[in-house]
């Protein structure tokens, strides 16, 4: 009997386990802690020994072996993944006062005076990911994306040495979703750039950009060559329940093979948080990786559940950011931009300066009040800050460094785009153009928003095409989109007959939407996707929403007095009602269902999975259609899946559905089925 068939001897099996454990340990020491204990040659020797044993005894080779982290065949595109539980973002604190206010809010909500226990963890400057394990085996890796859907990067995460391909031990749940941050340690980043310089290639600006670029490679063999590390910070969907507090759960993850920050600590009260923050801030520069703050979480899981969530973030966690990186530069000029809602924003044109890993030449000055508060003038030397890696802003004037040719910043009395009067309402700091849809800037931005993926999802109607259509006078309001002719579109620059036909087809498909998408597409101030969905579910019909008083609007989850006023005022204005009617006349429609009838929807209680590329609509649109009929749309196929809708390019999900004898529909069958409901 050859080694190909025979079971390996017990001593060989034991040696394989030993080599696997050693290689995983040294990966952590090298990449995460920057404390290699053996030279590269010794690591290579251990790796080759394991590889030789696996080649000699094929039964020893598993997908979880360190030798299998070399990457697979290149993909043509990333598949979309629906997260089992939303991956929410965190609210930020930038000062001790912010942290004290956070702690006070939690105590008031919990109605307790005792100090809360907090878990403290470094906030790695990387990319958030979700890892799904089934029966201890890595099944799927996904990016955070928009929090609801991400990209399937399974091939890439399999190449990362700190991610277990099979969980250690035997006490893990049958299904476990682990969330963490993938980042590139400083040493690996420097070596990566050194190799790029030697080859005459473009270098990465900072470790975060390098990590993001490495993780989104369609060719996973490229990812395999990049020094990436994943540190676990939480769990998502779990089949069953994990015992213990948050920090104890992280230690459980460590026991199952995940890297968990060695800086993990538990403290009492907000002062304990502030002490931890100060201590780690002092050591920040000496760490082997970049961090941009500390994440504090209520350690008790029952208290986390009581505190719950707002639409985009958990109430029980906050990211206390380190002071932002700042640099001094010169303010050369100020220009004024007009946004979608007519807000006039002063934008500082700066002498280019390198701040926080990027070259900054523009920064926001926010509004007139901020300009007056800063006392800033054109020609001043100013401090520019990138707080939390967001839009750079001017935060101060540098005294004693300003020349004689300083000029005052004159806020415009008339819109720089349409010439309409600029107004500042009582109680507001933001000045706004009063031109509404007659203002080209607002019209363009309103149409761009209307056509965006999260709104009406009009495929092919990009920003530049919208600008052309408005500039050529072909559209004056959003409803005009649905009156465009093939000849008008084809006659535009960089457009042809085929592109025009595709756009008209996309416009026609977009006419059928959902109430929540339609509400979001209208661009009502402060009404995002979550609020639009809550409004649609609460009122069930547009007519009831239009007639709702402010008190009724405030009964909706996540709608406070400010948002209620914005919604109410929007539907009190004739021009907005006319715009809505024009869209309905153009054929835009949705199914209106009374909330109490939701449980009677035809697909209620059934789970669908979308896979492959759909040709007449996007998968987001197909998902909305299913949700409107009461279905649940999952990201993976299981025994609970009722049906799989498979377009061209469907792969593993279709194969699994066939194996489980689950119904599979092609796109044409799906469309016919939906029309029959």
Q: What is the pLDDT of residue 655?
A: 87
Using DSSP bridges, classify how beta strands 127-134 and 137-143 pair: parallel, antiparallel or unpaired. antiparallel
**Rounded to an integer, what distance in angstroms lies between the CA atom of residue 588 and that of residue 507?**
10
Tell me if residue 123 is catalytic. yes
Whole-prediction pTM value?
0.54
Closest CA to 229 of 205, 265, 260, 254: 260
The residue-averaged pLDDT of 606-615 equals 87
The residue-averaged pLDDT of 394-399 equals 84
Round to whole Å and give the CA distance between 39 and 51.
Answer: 19
d(CA 647, CA 668): 10
> What b-and-e string marks burial along 552-570, b requiring 16 or more CB atoms within 10 Å of the CB?
bbbebeebeeebbebbbeb
- Tell me the torsion sign for CA atoms 25, 30, 36, 39: positive
| φ and ψ at residue 98, rounded to 5 degrees | -60, -40
> Using 50, 70 and 90 to split pLDDT, how confident is the model at 5?
low
- The whole-number pLDDT of residue 390 equals 62
Q: Using alpha carbons, list the distances in angstroms from residue 386 to 141, 318, 344.
A: 31, 19, 21
Rounded CA separation 531/197 (Å): 48
Q: Which two tokens stand for residue 277?
A: 């923050």
Residue 308 CA to residue 105 CA, distance in Å, equals 13
Q: Tokens 């251990």: give the residue.
A: 46
Q: Could you give the dihedral angle defined by the CA atoms of residues 562, 568, 570 and 572, in that order, rounded to the nearest 10 degrees?
A: -140
Question: What is the structure's pLDDT at 263?
Answer: 94
3-state SS class at 463: helix
Annotate 325-360 with b (16+ C-beta within 10 A) or e (fewer). Answer: ebbebbbeebebebebbbbbebebebeebebbbeeb
In the predicted model, what is the mean pLDDT of residues 323-336?
86
pLDDT in tens, 334-347: 999 988 778 899 99
pLDDT, position 210: 85
- The per-residue pLDDT for range 215-243, each reduced to its tens digit, is 888 888 888 888 899 999 999 999 988 99
What confidence tens digit (pLDDT) does each residue in 8-42 have?
A: 888 888 898 888 888 877 776 665 555 667 776 67
Residue 644 has what pLDDT? Answer: 94
Separation between Cα atoms, residue 69 and residue 55, nearest integer Å: 16
Element (H, E) at 542: helix 542-547
Q: Residue 505: exposed, middle, or buried by beta-carbon count in 10 A (0-12, 13-18, 19+)? A: middle
CA-CA-CA-CA torsion sign (375, 378, 382, 387): positive
Question: For residue range 466-524, what is the model confidence (pLDDT) as tens digits?
Answer: 989 988 989 988 899 999 999 999 988 888 899 999 999 999 999 999 898 999 998 88
Q: What letter would DSSP give residue 323?
A: P
Chain-centroid distance of CA 548 in Å reads 33
Helix/strand/coil for 266: strand
Looking only at Cα atoms, what is the longest distance across the chain?
92
Average pLDDT over residues 55-72: 73
Q: From start to end of 481-572, where are the E strands? A: 512-513
- Rounded CA-CA distance 444/467 in Å is 6
Q: What is the pLDDT of residue 596?
A: 55
pLDDT at 28: 66
**Complete domains list, the chain, with CATH:** 10-68 (1.10.287.610), 91-321 (3.30.470.30), 324-433 (2.40.50.140), 436-510 (1.10.150.20), 515-596 (1.10.150.20), 601-676 (3.40.50.10190)
Look at residue 1 in the predicted model and tell me its pLDDT: 46
Instruction: Give the span between the Cα atoms of 93 and 98, in whole angstroms.
Output: 5
Q: What is the mean pLDDT of residues 286-315?
A: 90
* Mean pLDDT, the chain, integer: 86
**Catalytic residue (choose from 104, 107, 111, 123):** 123
Q: Map 257-290 to HEC letters.
A: CCCCCCCCEEEEHHHHHHHHHHHHHHHHHHCCCC
First to last CA, the chain: 61
> Reduced to 3 states, what is the DSSP secondary structure of residue 4?
coil
Per-residue pLDDT at 434 exceeds 70: yes
Q: For residue range 121-135, what is the model confidence (pLDDT) as tens digits?
A: 999 988 999 999 999
What's the pLDDT at 302?
A: 94
Q: Count CA atoms within 13 Å of residue 200 on its CB side.
A: 0
Q: Which residue has the higher pLDDT, 518 or 534?
A: 518
> Minimal CA–CA distance to 87: which of 154, 157, 140, 149?
149
CA gap 121, 249 in Å, rounded: 13
- Asked if the model's pLDDT at residue 552 lies above 60, the reply is yes
Q: For residue 356, name the pLDDT band (cuts at 50, 70, 90).
A: low
In angstroms, rounded to a whole number, what is the distance separating the alpha carbons of residues 526 and 54?
A: 58
- Assess contact for 557 and 536: CB atoms under 8 A: no
pLDDT at position 7 over 90: no
**Mean of pLDDT values over 200-208:** 76
């Amino acid at each position: 009997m050859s080694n190909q068939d025979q079971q390996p001897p017990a001593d060989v099996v034991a040696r394989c386990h030993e080599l696997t454990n050693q290689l995983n340990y040294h990966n952590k020491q090298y990449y995460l802690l920057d404390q290699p204990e053996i030279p590269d040659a010794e690591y290579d020797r251990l790796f080759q020994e394991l590889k030789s044993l696996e080649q000699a005894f094929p039964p020893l080779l598993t997908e979880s072996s360190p030798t299998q982290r070399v990457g697979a065949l290149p993909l043509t595109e990333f598949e979309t993944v629906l997260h089992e539980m939303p991956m929410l973002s965190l609210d930020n604190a930038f000062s001790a006062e912010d942290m004290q206010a956070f702690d006070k809010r939690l105590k008031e909500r919990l109605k307790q005076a005792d100090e809360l226990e907090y878990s403290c963890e470094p906030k790695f400057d990387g990319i958030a990911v979700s890892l799904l394990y089934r029966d201890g085996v890595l099944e799927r890796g996904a990016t955070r994306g928009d929090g609801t859907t991400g990209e399937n990067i399974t091939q890439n995460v399999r190449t990362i040495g700190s991610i277990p391909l099979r969980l250690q031990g035997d006490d893990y749940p049958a299904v476990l979703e682990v969330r963490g941050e993938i980042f590139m340690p400083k040493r690996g980043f420097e070596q990566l750039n050194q190799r790029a310089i030697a080859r005459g290639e473009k270098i990465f600006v900072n470790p975060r950009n390098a990590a993001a670029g490495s993780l989104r490679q369609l060719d996973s063999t490229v990812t395999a060559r990049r020094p990436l590390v994943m540190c676990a910070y939480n769990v998502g969907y779990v089949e069953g329940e994990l015992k213990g507090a948050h920090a104890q759960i992280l230690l459980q993850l460590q026991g199952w093979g995940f890297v968990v920050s060695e800086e993990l600590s538990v403290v009492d009260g907000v002062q304990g948080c502030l002490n931890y923050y100060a201590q780690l801030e002092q050591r920040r520069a000496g760490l082997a990786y970049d961090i941009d703050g500390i994440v504090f979480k209520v350690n008790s899981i029952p208290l986390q559940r009581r505190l719950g969530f707002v639409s985009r973030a958990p109430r029980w966690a906050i990211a206390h950011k380190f002071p932002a990186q700042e640099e001094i530069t010169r303010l050369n000029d100020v220009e004024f931009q007009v946004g979608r809602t007519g807000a006039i924003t002063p934008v500082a044109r700066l002498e280019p300066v390198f701040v926080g890993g990027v070259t900054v030449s523009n920064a926001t000055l926010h509004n007139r009040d901020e300009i007056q508060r800063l006392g800033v003038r054109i020609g001043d030397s100013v401090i520019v800050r990138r707080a939390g890696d967001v839009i750079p802003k001017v935060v101060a004037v540098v005294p004693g460094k300003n020349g004689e040719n300083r000029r005052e910043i004159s806020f415009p009395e008339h819109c720089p785009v349409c010439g309409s009067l600029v107004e500042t309402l009582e109680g507001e700091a933001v000045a706004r153009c009063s031109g509404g849809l007659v203002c080209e800037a607002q019209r363009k931005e309103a149409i761009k928003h209307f056509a965006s993926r999260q709104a009406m999802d009009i495929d092919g109607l990009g920003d530049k095409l919208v600008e052309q259509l408005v500039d050529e006078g072909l559209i004056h309001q959003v409803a005009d989109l649905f009156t465009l002719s093939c000849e008008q579109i084809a006659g535009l620059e960089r457009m042809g007959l085929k592109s025009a036909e595709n756009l008209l087809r996309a416009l026609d498909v977009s006419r059928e939407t959902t109430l929540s998408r339609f509400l979001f597409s209208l661009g009502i101030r402060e009404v995002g996707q979550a609020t639009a969905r809550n409004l649609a579910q609460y009122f069930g019909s547009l007519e009831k929403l239009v007639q709702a008083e402010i008190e009724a609007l405030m009964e909706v989850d996540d709608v406070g007095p400010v948002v209620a006023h914005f919604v109410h005022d929007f539907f009190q204005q004739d021009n907005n009602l006319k715009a809505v009617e024009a869209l309905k006349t153009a054929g835009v429609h949705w199914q209106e269902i009374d909330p109490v009838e939701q449980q009677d929807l035809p697909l209620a209680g059934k789970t669908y999975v979308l896979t492959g590329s759909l040709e007449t609509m996007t998968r987001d649109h197909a998902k909305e259609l299913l949700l409107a009929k009461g279905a649940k749309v999952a990201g993976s196929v299981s025994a609970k899946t009722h049906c799989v809708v498979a377009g061209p390019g469907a792969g593993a999900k279709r194969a699994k559905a066939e194996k489980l004898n689950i119904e599979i529909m092609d796109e044409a069958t799906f469309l016919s089925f939906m029309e029959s409901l």
